[in-house]
Amino acid sequence: MGAQWKAKHKDIAANAKGRLFGKLVKEIVVAARNGADPASNSRLRLAVEQARKASMPKETLDRAIKKGAGLTGESVNYEHVIYEGFAPHRVAVMVECLTDNVNRTAPEMRVLFRKGQLGTSGSVSWDFDHVGMIEAEPARPDADPEVAAIEAGAQDFEPAGEDHPAVFLTDPTDLDLVSRALPAQGFTVLSAKLGYKPKNPVDPASLSAEALEEVETFLAAIDANDDVQNVYVGLAG
């Protein structure tokens, strides 16, 4: 589960494509405010790469860039908001949103957190590190994540598991630099973004199967909200 929660159930994942495109479009629109050229806008470059890996249609991608750069005449203003609190069984959660209407998003979050506990700003963020997160997979048989992390300048790495690729952790200011360096170390970058890593994650094995299912159901409901970009959870693994 790790720092960023992702839906595991097939019935949830099957309906995720549309939501993924929606989230990527928002990220591209926000990133393009600082310029429509990915070559001189690292945040946009990373967002565009992620959109292409997700097979976003070129028309959709180009329209999002132009929209964010103000080239279409449309007025769009997405606000970055973070909600903090607890899932059931006191599992810490940070919810990152991009919304064009906080007056809509805030009450929706209050409703979604009823089965947990919505906290105030800083209530759980103290127990998370703000880091760069790069998901990557080996592009050649001899690719070693530990060596790659050292050579590319990452702070740390999490080895690949059965259902997730390796994750390279960086200082927030080094995200683009490390992302560019990893291919030379034999790794293909799948995604790169700033996020939150729990300092003291709860071991899922310490929760009963029923309790873990309650946490998963809670997180899935949060993630399904249209304004939610990322969900970071204090569970290990």
The residue among 233, 231, 232, 236 whose CA lies nearest residue 206 is 236
Give the domain CATH number at 139. 3.30.70.980
Residue 92 has pLDDT above 90, yes or no: yes
Res 17: pLDDT: 75
| pLDDT tens-place string over residues 131-180 | 999 999 999 999 999 999 999 999 999 988 777 899 999 999 999 999 99
Q: Quote the pLDDT of residue 3.
A: 54
Asked if residue 223 and residue 178 are part of one domain, the reply reads no
pLDDT digits (tens, 9 = 90+) for 46-78: 899 889 988 999 999 999 999 999 888 877 789
Residue 1 lies in a domain: no
Q: Looking at the domain assignment, is residue 2 inside a domain? A: no
Q: Residue 152's pLDDT is what? A: 96
In a domain, 209, yes or no: yes
Query: Quick one: average pLDDT of 85-99?
Result: 96
Average pLDDT of the chain to the nearest whole number? 90
Question: Which range of residues forms the domain containing residue 56?
Answer: 10-68
Residues 210/139, Cβ–Cβ less than 8 Å: no
Cα 16 to Cα 27: distance, rounded to the nearest angstrom? 16
pLDDT of residue 10: 45
Q: Report percent pLDDT > 90 for the chain.
A: 76
Does residue 140 lie in a domain region?
Answer: yes
Q: What pLDDT was estimated at residue 12?
A: 46
Separation of alpha carbons 207 and 203, rounded Å: 8
**Residue 227 resides in a domain:** yes
Q: Which of 41, 68, 95 is the last residue of a domain?
A: 68
Which string of DSSP letters, residue by residue, matches 143-160? --HHHHHHHHT-SEEE--
Residues 62 and 27 in one domain: yes
Do the domain assignments include residue 51?
yes
pLDDT given for residue 6 in this prediction: 65
Whole-structure pTM value: 0.85
What is the model's pLDDT at position 20?
A: 85
Same domain? 116 vs 132 = no
> Are 85 and 141 in the same domain?
no
- pLDDT for residue 79: 93
- The total number of structural domains in the chain stands at 3
29 and 119 both lie in a single domain: no
Residues 168, 207: one domain?
no
Per-residue pLDDT, 2: 47
Crossing angle of helices 16-31 and 42-53, rounded to 10°? 160
DSSP string for residues in 90-110: GEEEEEEEEES-HHHHHHHHH
Establish if 147 belongs to a structural domain. Answer: yes
- Is residue 44 situated within a structural domain? yes
